[in-house]
Structure 1
Amino acid sequence: MLDFTCGRAIAVARNEKLQPELLKVGELASRAGVTVRALHHYDRIGLLKPSARAASGYRLYDRADVARLHQVQALRRFGLPLAEIGVVLDQPDTRFAGIVAEQITALRRQIAQASALRGQLVQLQRQLQLGAEPDLANWLSTLELMGAYDSYFTKEELQRLPFFQFDSQRDGIWGRLVARIAALMAGGVPAASRQARHLALHWMRRLERDTAANPDFAIRMGALMEGEPSARQRIGITPELKQYVIDALAENRLRIYANYLDADELRRMREHGGKHGKQWMTLIAAVHQQMHAGAAPGDPAVQALTREWFALFRQGAGDNPATLAKMRLAIDSEPALLAGSWINAEMLAFIRQSAATLQAPR
């Protein structure tokens, strides 16, 4: 909104006396970033008529006129034609606060895009200052990755996906994390080592956070990495590195379970516990979707997912009720068992409530 309190006085009304809070057409055009011709056109079509005219014939605009001009310009940015803008603004229930909120959202997206572009330009500038030739392949890879995101996520989903938003600090953390794990692999350090297990746990917690704790986003990010060579090349997450992290995380969980299970139970877990990772992620995503949609634990769709949940659980743990009870105790007592699984306490409670409606083993 324009500030009239410090504006220069202008000639108004028939007697040409100086009064505040009125702007001539040229001054309004200059301060609002529009052309005089546009304001004349808005007057002719009845979209924005000045509230007064000077004796000399100059159009004069007051605060209400400027507010309407703001609305007109905001709606034009959203792609509405002038004829439709007039209809919208003439409706008595039009809420300008909502229009401003949408403008703010649009500006935030533009700021994020501008920040990403700035980061790329700073990188290019540094390369040029050092006399280095910019890496064309890296630029092309970046452009390909931006297009790849559009193939896996809607625009609304991308707004909620932290991975898509430019964040130099987060990107730096991922770069260092990938480099540290790659160094362990190159040095022949086994995935069961303490360093690998620590980094794998940190990796999965970061990944869960950067996919907005949404398992469906995580599945699609995985598909993007597998299906888009440019994504793998830019981020450096090879299939071998990914498997190393999975193996290290599995070993970390087995070591926690070792405090609760006997040798035979642990051996079965080691042999069968990691065989259904993709099925688990698909199932967790489906449960998350039902919870997000407000489904009740006793709904038939939720009960079907609960049956599948327990069936998968038994494939890894067996059918011994004593073993299942010990594993439940471990899960309830050890938060690290759920780290990076996209399962939280709320989801566990939801599944257990659904199991109770089925009278299933708990």
Structure 2
Amino acid sequence: MLKVGELAAAAGLTVRTLHHYDSIGLLRPSARSDAGYRLYDRDDVARLHRIQALRAFGMSLSDIGLYLDSPAGSPLLVVERQLAALDRQISEAAHMRRQLLRLHTELADGGQPDLSTWLSTLEQMMVYEKYFTQDELAQLPMYHDDGAKAQWKALVDEAAALMGTAAPDSPAAADLARRWLDAFESGTGGNRAMASRVNAMAAREPEAMHTQFGMSPELMGYVMAAIAELKYGVWSKYLAPDVIAQMRRHHAGRGKEWALLVEQAREAMQADPKAAGTRARELARAWLALFHDMVGTEPATVDAFRHASATEPVLRMGNGISEAMLEWLRQAMPKPATQ
């Protein structure tokens, strides 16, 4: 058995820290010496290992205590969680090594890479990696595929040129909007969850979108307006002019709320697949309120909206909303479905 000083030295902690763990019931010594000194056995050391591992994950001491007393806090599961975290770090380091090897090869061949371009690439990696794991980035063509990235650059340049000469409801802007949606679908691999996170990234990182991808807020607004006009043309086959007018007002005032709400719903779905919790109900109510602000509450209009969404593929493009998400929201708020 180890005395408190010996365990502290082995674990790289202070004696005061172990005393604190004892006082809050997080790590109590299994025995005391005749002189009253704390003594720790193998099981105590194993528990300390789990505490240290969970601290490294950013978990608070109070949460660690609850976690360790639950079935999920078994030594096997904590070690498995550590291994998964290390695997992610190894994958990220390997990805960075590949990037550096490309630079090394170019330099070794006598090339003179543009430093600003290289730094921009590293910054782009940092932005994407806030939202995606390395495994997910490997499945995201707009991130790793040079052809897809060149396609996006060409579209951004074309949009910048059109912005000063063509209105969002012009034929030229409609053509750009359709190609933009097609590129977004292929660039996210047709994965709605990926699309949701890319949209959230764009909404939350406007400065990065501007400095790294050339998408100023004005340019982003122009493209979004062109996409909206393209879709209004399709909606108009199903919805009355006054409803289209209401949708225009909604998108002008509250349209930006959708990207973050969709992403919040996606995250909540992962945490609560059965939509049984309070967060699911909150999101369902927020979704319903935003939807009603867009098209109103008239049952015939809601039915027409749903029919159009199911019939016209272009209306489902680019928003990151899956049928599974809509069903999850319906479960969270069991009342007549509105989408």
Q: Residue 260 of structure 1 contacts residue 326 of structure 1 at CA under 8 Å; is this kept in 2?
A: yes
The C-alpha deviation readout for 1:63-122, integer Å capped at 9, x for no partner, is: xxxxxxxxxxxxxxxxxxxxxxxxxxxxxx9xxxx9999998777555543443355567
**Aligned letter for 2:182?**
H
Is 1:345–2:323 an aligned residue pair?
yes
Q: Equivalent residues in 2 for 1:168-247 (5 A)?
A: 168-185=146-163, 188-192=165-169, 193=171, 194-206=174-186, 208-209=188-189, 213=194, 215-216=196-197, 218-224=199-205, 226-228=206-208, 232-247=210-225
User: In the superposition, relative to structure 1, how do residues 204 and 304 fare at CA in structure 2: closer, same or farther (>3 Å)?
Assistant: same
How far off is 1:211 after superposition? 8.9
SS at match of 2:291: helix
Q: Residue 303 of structure 1 contacts residue 358 of structure 1 at CA under 8 Å; is this kept in 2?
A: no
Q: Residue 287 of structure 1 contacts residue 305 of structure 1 at CA under 8 Å; is this kept in 2?
A: yes
Is 1:157–2:119 an aligned residue pair?
no
- Length-normalised TM-score, structure 1: 0.58
How far off is 1:203 after superposition? 4.4
**Aligned letter for 1:160?**
E
SS at match of 1:342: coil
2: distance between equivalents of 1:246 and 1:304? Answer: 27
Aligned residues: 255
2: distance between equivalents of 1:141 and 1:227? Answer: 13
**Aligned letter for 1:305?**
L
Q: Equivalent residues in 2 for 1:1-362 (5 A)?
A: 109=92, 112-120=95-103, 134-147=113-126, 152-153=130-131, 157-161=133-137, 162=140, 166-185=144-163, 188-192=165-169, 193=171, 194-206=174-186, 208-209=188-189, 213=194, 215-216=196-197, 218-224=199-205, 226-228=206-208, 232-355=210-333, 357-358=334-335
1: distance between equivalents of 2:312 and 2:106? Answer: 43
Deviates most, 208-217 or 318-327: 208-217
User: In the superposition, relative to structure 1, how do residues 249 and 136 fare at CA in structure 2: closer, same or farther (>3 Å)?
Assistant: same
How far off is 1:250 after superposition? 0.5
Aligned-residue RMSD, C-alpha: 3.8
Q: Residue 148 of structure 2 contacts residue 187 of structure 2 at CA under 8 Å; is this kept in 1?
A: no
User: In the superposition, relative to structure 1, how do residues 125 and 265 fare at CA in structure 2: closer, same or farther (>3 Å)?
Assistant: farther
1: distance between equivalents of 2:338 and 2:82? Answer: 53
1: distance between equivalents of 2:88 and 2:251? Answer: 44
Q: Residue 269 of structure 1 contacts residue 316 of structure 1 at CA under 8 Å; is this kept in 2?
A: yes
Q: Which has the larger radius of gyration?
A: 1
2: distance between equivalents of 1:259 and 1:215? Answer: 27
SS at match of 2:256: helix
1: distance between equivalents of 2:182 and 2:316? Answer: 13
**Aligned letter for 1:246?**
M
2: distance between equivalents of 1:289 and 1:116? Answer: 30
User: In the superposition, relative to structure 1, how do residues 271 and 207 fare at CA in structure 2: closer, same or farther (>3 Å)?
Assistant: farther
User: In the superposition, relative to structure 1, how do residues 248 and 111 fare at CA in structure 2: closer, same or farther (>3 Å)?
Assistant: same
SS at match of 2:133: helix
Q: Name 1:65's counterpart in structure 2.
A: none
Q: Residue 115 of structure 1 contacts residue 166 of structure 1 at CA under 8 Å; is this kept in 2?
A: no
2: distance between equivalents of 1:125 and 1:238? Answer: 36
Q: Residue 260 of structure 1 contacts residue 327 of structure 1 at CA under 8 Å; is this kept in 2?
A: yes
2: distance between equivalents of 1:285 and 1:103? Answer: 27
Determine which structure has the larger helix proportion and give its number.
2
Unaligned runs of 5+ in 1: 1-92
**Aligned letter for 2:207?**
G
The C-alpha deviation readout for 1:187-211, integer Å capped at 9, x for no partner, is: x122222322223322442564489
